[in-house]
């Protein structure tokens, strides 16, 4: 598969080699790295990780395209879904976006919130990448009025003081460092990364600790069956602690996650016996996470049953769970599309709008592969579009 991938440039390969050298030093000192730690370094190592280095990630010039990069419809629907809650919470409400990407979502969302007269007190972006922060800042300064930009804040860590409003994350959970496990003779093993005798990265299995074993056994109990020997997949034992960390101070409002994934019984299908881990490089998806560390986005699909469990354990109420297509329809996609189509200046613009809808909605694109899960807390009556409740599929969890 690597032979079909684009060849990196000299600078790119040197960048990856520097990260490999860092990994070699770490493994020489500490022993084999659990895959989750390897993935964390590949994505977030200061100056070397995929998200912390300066190369373009999003859009045609990057490695993948997210829903906000396609155009304004996705963000418009999200605003439609959360705007009633922001309005009900009043002038003290904030909007927190996890991982701002290129800034495309923030730009469209802030324009839509300004048009509906429901701008939050602050628009907060929790962005660990200094490079992406600067790109977001430049984009918003160039495209938003000064009085709107004045509301934008970047955070180094989740809010610690109590706050109210909306927490939104698009394609964030899939990038959390995933634990890879397998089963041998009925026992749980955890995948690690090391170097072979020739100095090449390799994956090896080591006995799992109590945390990982407990997380896997919980899945087995919930599914009502044991994983067969040789089965390999991913789990996020840190997910409950992560949600508590990012949203523990949200006392009243909405928490909305959009990502690609499955309910648990579909995530751990018997035929999906090598998990869901994927690498993305220049719009090519492949399954070798050891190839060019630092140049690939590494992701794993989301177990939305686990997200529901973690949200509830953090004190949130699950409001709705549904495929992205159903979420967008319930949040007013048709009205947004018709309005934008009416403003399209020519046939080319109208065609691009239609293509945007196809990418967002078709089952083999984002419509069914991506899911939306919305939680509430501290609200007497959740103020959400009624069509979202009508399309709710949380019984599948």
Q: What is the DSSP string of 221-252?
A: HHHTSPPPTT-EEEE-TTHHHHHHHHHTTEEE
Structure tokens at 223: 């599914």
Residue 285 burial (CB < 10 Å; 0-12/13-18/19+)?
middle
Answer yes or no: are the C-beta atoms of 372 and 327 closer than 8 Å. Answer: yes
Q: Which of 36-50, 177-191, 351-365 shows the lowest per-residue confidence on average (mean pLDDT)?
A: 351-365
What is the rounded distance in angstroms from the CA atom of residue 387 to the CA atom of residue 45? 42
Phi, psi of 71 (to 5 degrees): 160, -165
pLDDT at residue 224, as a whole number = 97
Percentage with pLDDT > 90 across the chain: 75
Distance in angstroms (rounded) separating the CA atoms of residues 222 and 264: 9
336: left (phi over 0), alpha (psi -120 to 50) or beta: alpha
SS (H, E, C) 72-119: CHHHHHHHHHHHHHHHHHHHHCEEEEECCCCCHHHHHHHHHHHHCCCC
Count of structural domains, the chain:
1
d(CA 344, CA 154): 34
Separation of alpha carbons 86 and 110, rounded Å = 13
- Close Cβ partners of 342 (under 8 Å, ≥ 6 residues apart): none
Report yes or no on 272 lying in a domain.
Answer: yes
Can you name the residues that pair with 254 across neighbouring β-strands?
Answer: 166, 376
Alpha carbons within 13 A on the beta-carbon side of 260: 17
Residue with tokens 């403003």: 343
Phi, psi at 127, each rounded to 5°: -130, 110
Which stretch of DSSP H or E encloses residue 279?
strand 278-281
- What per-residue confidence (pLDDT) applies to 156? 93
- The predicted model scores a pTM of 0.93
pLDDT at 1: 43
Confidence of residue 59 (pLDDT cuts 50, 70, 90): very low
Domain span at residue 297 reads 1-392
In a domain, 342, yes or no: yes
- Residue 397, in any domain of the structure: no
Asked if residue 52 has pLDDT above 90, the reply is: no
pLDDT at 54: 53
Tell me how far apart the alpha carbons of residues 305 and 261 are, in angstroms, rounded to a whole number. Answer: 10
Tell me if 140 is assigned to some domain.
yes
pLDDT of residue 70: 79
Band (pLDDT 50/70/90 cuts) for residue 65 is: low
Checking if the pLDDT of 63 tops 60, the result is: no
Is residue 127, in this structure, part of any structural domain at all? yes
pLDDT in tens, 326-359: 999 999 999 988 888 887 777 787 788 888 888 8
pLDDT in tens, 259-284: 999 999 999 999 999 999 999 887 78
211, part of any domain: yes
Quick check: is 351 in a domain?
A: yes
Residue 37 lies in a domain: yes
Residue 75 has pLDDT above 70, yes or no: yes
Q: Could you tell me if 388 and 374 are in contact, meaning their C-beta atoms sit under 8 angstroms apart?
A: yes
pLDDT digits (tens, 9 = 90+) for 4-19: 777 888 888 999 999 9
Q: Give the CATH number, domain containing residue 87.
A: 3.40.50.12710
Strand, helix or coil at 56?
coil
List of residues 6+ apart from 179 with CB closer than 8 A = 34, 35, 36, 190, 191, 212, 215, 234, 235, 236, 237
What is the arithmetic mean of pLDDT over 369-396? 94
Residues near 346 by beta carbon (within 8 Å), at least 6 away in sequence: none
DSSP structure string for 22-35:
HHHHHHHHH-SEEH
């Amino acid at each position: 598969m690597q032979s079909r991938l684009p060849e990196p440039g000299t600078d790119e390969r040197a960048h990856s080699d520097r990260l490999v050298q860092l990994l070699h030093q770490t493994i020489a000192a500490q022993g084999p790295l659990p895959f989750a730690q390897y993935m964390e370094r590949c994505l977030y190592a200061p100056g070397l990780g995929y998200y912390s280095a300066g190369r373009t990630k999003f859009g045609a010039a990057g490695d993948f395209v997210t829903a906000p990069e396609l155009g304004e419809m996705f963000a418009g629907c999200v605003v439609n879904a959360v705007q009633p809650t922001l309005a009900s919470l009043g002038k003290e409400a904030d909007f927190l976006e996890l991982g701002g990407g290129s800034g495309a979502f923030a730009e469209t969302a802030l324009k839509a919130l300004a048009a509906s007269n429901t701008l939050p007190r602050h628009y907060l972006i929790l962005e660990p990448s200094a490079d992406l922060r600067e790109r977001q800042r430049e984009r918003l300064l160039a495209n938003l009025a000064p009085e709107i930009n004045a509301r934008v804040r970047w955070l180094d860590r989740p809010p610690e003081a109590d706050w109210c409003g909306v927490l939104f994350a698009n394609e964030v959970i899939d990038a959390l460092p995933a634990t890879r496990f397998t089963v041998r003779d009925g026992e749980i093993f955890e995948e690690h990364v090391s170097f072979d005798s020739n100095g090449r990265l390799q994956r090896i299995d080591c006995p799992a600790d109590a945390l990982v074993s407990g997380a896997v056994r919980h899945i087995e109990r919930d599914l009502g069956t044991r994983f067969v020997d040789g089965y390999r997949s991913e789990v996020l034992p840190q997910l409950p602690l992560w949600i508590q960390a990012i949203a523990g101070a949200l006392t009243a409002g909405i928490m909305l996650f959009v990502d690609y994934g499955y309910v648990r019984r579909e995530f751990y299908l018997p035929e999906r016996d090598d998990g869901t881990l994927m690498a993305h490089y220049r719009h090519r998806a492949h399954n070798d996470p050891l190839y060019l560390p630092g140049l690939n986005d590494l992701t794993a699909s989301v177990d939305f049953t686990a997200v529901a469990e973690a949200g509830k354990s953090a004190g949130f109420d699950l409001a709705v769970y549904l495929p992205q297509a159903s979420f967008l329809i319930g949040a007013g996609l048709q009205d947004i599309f018709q309005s934008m189509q009416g403003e399209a200046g020519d046939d080319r613009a109208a065609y691009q709008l239609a293509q945007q809808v196809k990418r967002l909605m078709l089952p083999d694109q984002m419509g069914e592969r991506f899911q939306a899960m919305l939680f509430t807390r501290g609200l007497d009556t959740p103020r959400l579009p009624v069509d979202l409740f009508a399309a709710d599929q949380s019984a599948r969890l």
